[in-house]
Every structure is written in structure tokens, then in C-alpha cells.
Chains A and B, each alone.
Chain A
Amino acid sequence: MSTATPVSPRGTLGVDTPKGPAQILANRRGLAKLLLLAVVAAVVVPLLSAKYGAAWPHALTVDVSGPLDKTSSWIIDNRDSHWLFVYFLGHLSNAVVLSVRGVYLLLLALGWTGVTAGVTLLAWRVAGWRIALTALLSFVVSGLLGMWVPTMQTLALMVVAVVVSVAVGALLGLAAGLSDRLFRILRPVLDTMQVLPAFAYLLPVVLVFGIGVPAALLATVIYAAPPMARLTALGLRGADAGVLEASASLGATGRQRLLTARLPLARKELLLGVNQTIMMALSMAVIASVIGAAGLGDRVYQALASVDVGAALAAAIPIVLLAIVMDRTTAAAGEKIGADTSAAGPAFLRGWRAWTGVAVVTAALALLGRLSGSLVWPTGWAVDIAHPVNDFKEWMVNHLYSGVPVVGGTADWAAHFTNWVLNPLRDGLTALPWYGTLLLVAALAWLIGTWRTALTAVLAMAAIGVLGVWKPSMNTLSQVLAALVVTLVLGFAIGILAAGSKRLEAILRPVLDVMQTMPQFVYLIPVVALFAVGRAPAAAAAVVYALPAVIRITTQGLRQVDPAAMESARSLGATRWQILRQVQLPLARPALLLAVNQGVVLVLAVVIIGGLVGGGALGYDVVTGLATGDLGLGLVAGVAIVCLGLMLDRVTQPTERRTTGKGA
């Protein structure tokens, strides 16, 4: 979305940098690291291979399924009697039910006229008439699609989830922003949580809270609060020291300084945090339909059972529209506040009259809707899109699946991709002795980062072995790598084209928005219909999901290359291709690295969805664990995915940490 990481290439080097001394030194340092590793390897590898062999040694695994199953039984048996549940978690769950119900009843009471008017006017006040129009349109569309009630359910869930996530995140961020020690403790935790795939959160909360809204909401909060906490802490820490000193010298107390100087200075980060939290909460609210979250996600999920893409799409469109409206509104609020306050201030802050107007108009329209007799969208005004969509899908599948002249059908591509890319990669990774894999990971992570990142990466990999899921993990890793390569090739190519043409970028923007916010469940059926069951459709789903972020970051990175450097290259008579290859790409290197890193994280996030279309391996295990309540299987596979994510993140992590979320 529009929050995709702003990337600033650090330093603008000259056009033709010969190998500067710093670079040579860097190269030497890399060489030294490799040499050191090689020495370690020469000593350790023969010992390990003699003792354990190439497959992950059985002696080094720990079977955790027994204790996990016992825990799960204990929870089920004690859920209605133990004090922990009855006096603490029970209240938590009850509070969730009560507040979601309260919001839901309020929305229903406002009726469709009231809700539509209220949100539209709110968007107008905060973000201008364009976004207000989008808001109006999206509510009308969700009504027309016959999705009014599920939309209200999702909205109620979202309102509560976002309020709680923002509150929890802001509190954590405030604490971390004020205390150095807390910051040091929290930072790695929050960093790690950014890499976790959403599905990994579901299993533990289901176990404790059972299926239903409380579990879904808590999973959403756990998923969506970290970006708020990170950005709050960053904003507070980044406050201008001069301003703080000035306010301290005026005799402000700690609290006054916090309220009058530090928080206002961090406004921009705070709003970015809210924006990120909303986007992540929405994507999770859909995934959480697997554990009974109801609402739009549930409609998508139910449509899947009868293999009905059209019905799934009808529920998915309101989700996409909601996401775009929420994103644009909060982003616009952020820009407004970040802009010159004195100019934007009066209209925005002193507009209490306007706000009263908003409230009055909303109330009036709500009343009007009530008098006209229908609180939910009138059923007569519904449009059926399921049939045309399904017909289109049928047509596409019939004509593309196989036997297309010259290029071959999609099923043939999928078979080639599986046979020539996925299979060799999987077999290679599985055949590689485990210590070889660990060394490779160490070398890569150390070259690109510090010894700390290398250590984290190696420990994460070792944890996978210890949990006894080495083989499926290598299978998953091969799928992730293959999907990543496809994503990067496509993403860089499209990104370069878009950076060169404003028009293409403008055309791409809504397409990318839709790709990023479309619930992944919706494209499950089309990918299977096109690529047959197996690992190829899983890879296709991953590419669709990860591509937008890669394209965006690439385009932005290339755009921000110093125009002076390009101008001087052009004046030296370089062709367009030469400028791209020798000036733009090298200068945009940090952005490209960031794109790789984001690509990895996003591709990994789809592994579990891949398990639903025949991806097998870890994704399938997590799905099985969720479906059969097998905590041992599901949790171990989930942890393994997390470990893979940590390792891949560290291996691809540019030295500078990224500051925004998963690009959702």
C-alpha cells in the first residue's frame, strides 16, 4: 500500500566510482570471514560427518510432541475449572465478546444509511473528498454484492481489534521509548514478530480460547500490535534532542515533556503505526476465519468449500475496498498532520463545527434509514457477480490449461517448473549434509551482516533440526527459494519499467493495491485450476502475494536515485541501458536488497496457504495441526517456518534495519 517503505539510498557516490579503498577493505573483510569459516569447517566437518553422517542425526533431535499433547489435554480438561481460565482468560474472552457485540449492535442500529454516511463524512473530514467518494463507493458495492451483514461483522471485529492493538502497541512503544533497558529487551522480540507468518499465531490461541471470535481477535491483536509498538518507540527515540533540551530548560516535568514535546514530535510515526496496524489487522481478520472469526473472511472460506470463485470474490471485494479506504484515510491523516501544522491546523483541528455537522448528518440519515424500514441493505438491490465470474474462470481455465500453441498451457509450464526447478532444488537441499547447510547459512549471513546475524541464522537452522523436521523444512525452503527467484525476476523487471514511465506506475498502482489486500484464499482455486495440484500452484500464490511489495520498493528505489548522477551520465553519452546498469541499479542497491528481504518474508508468509493447494511439507503440517487439533504436529511445523523466516531474514538483511512492517 502507500505505506511501502520509503527508501533513501545512503550517500550519492560519483558516477564512475573506481574501487575505493573502503570497498577493497570491505572485500578483504569478507574474504577474511570466509577464510575463518573455511578453517572452522575444515576442523569440524570431518568430525561431524564421522560421528553423525549427512542426514540430521537422530541423537540431536528432541521429541516435543508428547509434552505438547499433554499440555493440550490439560487445557481442554481444565478450561472450565482452573483459576487461570476462570478468573483471568475467561474475563478477557468475555470482554472481547461484549465489546465486539457492542460495536456490532451499534453498527446495526445505525443502519446502512447511517454507517455509509458516517464513514463517508469521516473520510471526507480526514482525507478529502476523493477518499470520501471511495468510501461511499465501497459501502454501496458491499451492499450491492449482498455482503452488508458480513461487512458489518468484519467492521465490528476490526474496530475492536484496531483499538486494542493500537492501545497495547502504544503502551509497549511508550515504555520502550522511555526506558533504554525495555527498548533493548523488546526490540529483538518485535523484530522477530515481524517475520512470523500469520497462521503461526492461530494454533496456540485456539487451544486456549477455543474457536470463535475471542481467539480470532486475540490472534489479530498479537499480529497487529508490534508495528505500532516499534513505530511508537522509534518516534519517541527519534525526537529532536534540541527541542527536548529547550523544553526541559523551561522547567517542564517529565510528563509535560512527554505530552507537549515528545509525543507531538512523534506524530508522524504514530500515525504510520496506526496505518500499519489497521492493514495487518484486516489481513489477519480474514485469515482468522479459519478459527471461526465470522464476517467476510468466513464467506470467502465457505465459498471455497463449493469451489465457487465467484462467491469468494463477492466477499473479497468489500475486503479490498475496506482496506484501500482505511489505508488511504490514515495515510492522508498522517500527511496532513506531518505537513505544516499552522496551515492545516485551523481547518482540521478547530473544525468542531464541521464535526458536529458530520454527527448530525449521520444521525439524520440513520433515522431516515430506520423510518424507511430497512436497517440492513435492502435485498432487492443486490447484484449477482458470482455467475459471470465463474464463467470467466471456466473460460480462462478451458483455454489456458494446456495445448496452447507454441507456448504450451499453464499446466505444462507448471509441470516443467516442478520437474526442472523445484525437484532438483529440493533434492539438492535434502541431499546437502546438514553441517554443509549450516556452514552455507553462516557464510551468507556473515558476509551480508555481522557475526551476530550469522549466529542467529545458524541457531535458527539448528533449531529446525533439533525439532526433527529437517527434511520437510528443506522441501519448504526449496519452494520458498524458487518462488523468490521468480518474484524477484518479475518484480525487478516490472519495477524498472515502472520507474521509467509515470503512466505505467499510475496504471499499476490500483492493481498492486488489489493484489496486496486480496485475501489469499480467493486465488487458491484459480491457481489450482491453472497449475494443477502440487507445489507449482503454491509457488504461483506466493509470487502473486509477494510481487507488489518488490515492485513498489524497486520503483521507489530507482526513482530516488540522484537525478544529477543520471544527468551527468547522459551528458557523457551513455545509452539508457548503460545508465540503468551502471548508475541507477548500483545506486539503488540498498532498495534492491530491501526488496529481496521483503520478498523473502512475504513469500514465506504464503507457505501455509501453499499447504492448502498441495504444497505439502511444513505448510501442510500446520494446516493439518489446525484441522485436527494436533498441537504437536502443527506447532512444531509453525515454529520451523518461523525459524526458516528468521534465517532467511538474517541472510538477506541489509546492514540497515528496515523500519516498516511487512508491506501489508
Chain B
Amino acid sequence: MSRTRTRTLAKLIGTSAVAGAVLLSLSGCGKADMTKQGSPFAAAKGSKSVTLSVQTWVGAQSNVAVAKYLLEHQLGYHVDTVQVDEIPAWDALSQGRVDAILEDWGHPDQEQRYVKDKKTITAAGGNGVTGHIGWYVPKYWADKHPEVTNWKNLNKVAQQLRTSESGNKGQLMDGSPSYVTNDKALVKNLNLNYEVVFAGSEAAQITQIQQFAKQKKPFLTYWYEPQWLFNQVPMVEVKLPKYTDACAAKGTKDPTSIDCAYPTTPLQKFFNTEFAKHGGSAAAFLKKFSWTKDDQNEVSESIASSGLSADEAAKRWVDKHPDVWKKWLPKK
């Protein structure tokens, strides 16, 4: 009995080994570099195809929407999009799962690793928009109390900004964990009587800001420009200690020691190196892709508050501004 059982088991293992071998041989013999494998859903219609990374914020969605629309309607490409967080997107870009990132807010570590060391990613210039991170208060509050737009006065109004999450301190709301933030260090180093409350996602943060604005309540939030929400909820930046190179250098050494404002970042595009070299007219087009903050906001606004689909929003903008995008098309 036990012998037959062992035999059955052995056979079972044998069979599964064979099945595994078949599975492997399915994918061909020899090397299989998974960093070179694309998405199974890509280019299902058998055309030229490009895969773009969409980050979670709407500004980035606008870049991709317009690029996608033009690539599809003017250059005859099929465009796939993948939504991932910023740092995993770098990884995907280096593997070629994504061909291009159209808006990056500065990731020196990743740049060092992939662009300088491994050379799997190539820098492709700016997208024309300048990004800025800061602390913001709603305009209706700042108009009544102009003093709140300076960090030195924040402690005086801390009591007005209390919530049940921040306890007896004021609440400084932060958003998605993937965004660059020094807020904890800033609160500590500037001796502010505030608690950083992480909303955990941009969706949650925006919903909360809209909710506060509806009730005309005061709030203090980490936010960034360009962002479509400014059109709905006008906000004013709070002045933090001036950003200097010395302070930034200190911050790179020890992130907990930062005590000055966030820098202003020209947003960058990055391509997978293979794509940059052999991407044909799509690569040439994306390389030239560059617009202004207003252009981007126009598209973002129609996606996020008018409720248009990304494709419709892109179409609307493209119809209105041929002078901008005609320059991006490669010369025939």
C-alpha cells in the first residue's frame, strides 16, 4: 500500500515536472530576458504601438491624453497606457515595459542608477511645464487673514486648524505617499505646532479639500502647481524660508535636517533608451512634445471637473490649438 502510494506520488511529481518543462519550452529555449518583455495587451490590433506611463495625478494624465490623441490620429500609432507610481514607473521604463514618461518631478537616485550607470533610460528634455511644491491655504481664508501666508504666523492659527486626526495641534494635510515631501522635517525644524496628517492618496486629499472649501473652512495643505484644483478652489501659497542651494545640499545629506521651501522643478521627459534610438516618428514626436502650464491645465480641468474622458478632453484642446501641436509633428 505504502509502495503504491509512493509510486503515485512519484508519478505525480514526474508529471508536474514534465508539465513545467513544457511550459518553459513554450517560451522558447535558452535565455529569456524578462526585462525585454512587453505587455500581453499591447498592440493587439497589430499596428505600430507605443506604451506611455500615466502617473496618478491629472496633469500627467493630460500630457498623455494629448500625446496619445495625436499619435493615434496624426501618426497612426496604437497607444497603450499603464498607470503606476513614479518610482516603479522608472523601473518599468528601464525594462521597456513603458516607452516614455512625459512628466517627472525629479528623482536623482533613479537618474543616477538608470540614466548614468545602466544607460537603459535616456533623458528627453523638458515638457515645458514648471512644477512647484508648497504649502497652501484657501484664498477665502487668506483674504480675511493675510498673515497666514507667512510660516512665522502659522503657530498663531494652529488652533483653528485642529481636526480629530491632529489632536490638539493644527493639521497639515499631505497626500499620496509617492510624492516628494519634507513636511515632517519642516514641521519639526521650524518648531511648528502642527501634525502632518497623511491622506494616503491624492483622491482622498482632493475630496477633503473640496469638502473644506464647500464649508469655507480654513485648512493648510501640501499641494503643487500646476494643478487643476486651483481653478475650483483658489489657494494661496504660504511663504516658507527661502530655498537655497546650501539648504538643498544639507537636505540631500540628511533629509531630516531640511528647513527651507521646496525648489521649482522644470518637469522632465524620459525615454527608454531602445525607444529613443529606434522609436521612429513616435520618439521624434514625443521628443518635441512641449507645452505650457496653461495648456496643461486646460486639458486637466476638462478631465477632472467637466467630467470629459481623457480622449474627449484631448480632442477639444487639439481642435483649439493646432498652432501649438503642429510644431511637434516630425517633418515629412
A contact residues vs B (CB 8 Å cutoff): 76-77, 79-80, 85-87, 89-101, 104-105, 108, 153, 156, 167, 171, 174-175, 178-179, 206, 209-214, 248, 253-255, 258, 289, 291-292, 294, 298, 301-302, 304-308, 310, 386-387, 390, 397-398, 401-402, 411, 414-415, 418-419, 423, 524-525, 528-529, 532-537, 610-616, 619-620, 623-624, 626-629
Contacts and interface: CB of A to CB of B under 8 A. Distances in A.
Interface in B182-218: 197-208, 210-211, 214-215
A211 B88 contact: yes
A305 B59 CA distance: 10
Contact of B164 (A206, A301, A415, A525): A415
Interface residues of B, number: 74
B211 A397 contact: yes
B247 interface: no
Interface string B1-29: 10011011101110010010001101110
Q: Which of A80, A153, A209 has the most CB of B within 10 A?
A: A80
Nearest to B19: A167
Contact of A175 (B12, B200, B207): B12
Contact of B204 (A248, A298, A524): A524
A528 B202 CA distance: 11
Contacts of A626: 85, 88
Contacts of B157: none
A98 B208 contact: no
A305 B56 contact: yes
A258 B4 CA distance: 11
A210 B12 contact: no
A254 B8 contact: yes
A628 B110 CA distance: 11
Contacts of B211: 397, 401, 411, 528-529, 532
B91 interface: yes
Interface of chain A: mostly helix, strand, loop or mixed: helix
Contacts of B44: 104-105, 108
A612 B304 CA distance: 20
A663 to B, nearest CB: 26
B11 A86 contact: no
Contacts of A80: 33, 35-36
B31 interface: yes
Interface stretch (B122-130, B135-143, B148-156, B172-180): B172-180
Contact of A85 (B34, B82, B203): B34
Contact of B57 (A255, A305, A612): A305
Contacts of B202: 305
Nearest to A627: B178
Contacts of B204: 524-525, 528, 533, 537, 612-614
A76 B34 contact: no
A91 B199 contact: no
A397 B205 CA distance: 16
A171 B39 CA distance: 29
A533 B208 contact: yes
B92 A211 contact: yes
Contact of A402 (B39, B165, B201, B215): B215
A80 B215 CA distance: 54
A162 to B, nearest CB: 16
A304 B39 contact: no
B88 A532 contact: no
Given A171-B16, A210-B34, A525 B11 contact: no
B207 A525 contact: yes
Nearest to A93: B34
B40 A101 contact: yes
B86 interface: yes
Given A213-B39, A213-B40, A255 B8 contact: yes
Contacts of B88: 206, 210-211, 291-292, 626-627, 629
Contacts of A291: 84, 88
A611 B176 CA distance: 10
A179 B9 contact: yes
A90 B36 CA distance: 9
B9 to A, nearest CB: 6
Nearest to B201: A612
A627 B8 contact: no
Nearest to A418: B164
Given A175-B12, A624-B177, A307 B207 contact: yes
18 contacts: A90-B31, A93-B34, A94-B34, A94-B37, A95-B23, A104-B41, A178-B5, A210-B95, A248-B1, A254-B5, A292-B39, A401-B215, A402-B215, A415-B163, A524-B203, A525-B203, A614-B204, A626-B88
A307 B206 contact: yes
A105 B40 CA distance: 9
Contacts of B4: 253-255
B97 interface: yes
Nearest to B117: A77
Contacts of A213: 39-41
A104 B197 contact: no
A307 B203 CA distance: 5
B164 A211 contact: no
A70 to B, nearest CB: 14
A483 to B, nearest CB: 16
Contact of B97 (A87, A211, A616, A629): A211
What are the 8 A-B residue pairs with the smallest beta carbon separation, nearest first? A254-B4, A627-B178, A90-B32, A624-B177, A101-B40, A94-B27, A418-B164, A100-B40
B76 interface: no
Contacts of B116: none
Contacts of B57: 305
A409 to B, nearest CB: 10
A614 B165 contact: yes
Contacts of A89: 34
Contacts of B56: 304-305
A258 B8 contact: yes
Contact of A398 (B13, B54, B86, B214): B214
B61 A305 contact: yes
B7 A171 contact: no
A98 B84 contact: no
Nearest to A160: B40
A97 B44 CA distance: 13
Given A214-B34, A627-B176, A532 B208 contact: yes
A106 B26 CA distance: 18
B83 interface: yes
B24 A533 contact: no
Contacts of A613: 199-201, 204
Q: Which of B86, B198, B202, B304 has the most CB of A within 10 A?
A: B198
B322 interface: no
B26 A304 contact: no
Nearest to A534: B165
By CB atoms of chain B within 10 A, which of A87, A612, A616 has the most? A612
Contacts of B280: none
Contacts of A96: 40
Contacts of A214: 34, 37
A620 B196 CA distance: 13
A253 B11 CA distance: 13
B263 interface: no
Query: Taking each of A156, A619, A626, which has the highest tally of chain B beta carbons within 10 Å of its own beta carbon?
Result: A626
Contacts of B82: 211-212, 292, 294, 298
Nearest to B206: A307
A95 B27 contact: yes
Contact of B39 (A212, A390, A614): A212
A153 B41 contact: yes
A620 B177 contact: yes
Contact of A414 (B12, B164, B307): B164
Nearest to A252: B4
A212 B54 CA distance: 14
B86 to A, nearest CB: 7
B119 interface: no
B32 A87 contact: yes
> Could you say which of B9, B24, B173, B211 has the most chain A C-beta atoms within 10 Å of its C-beta?
B211
B82 to A, nearest CB: 5
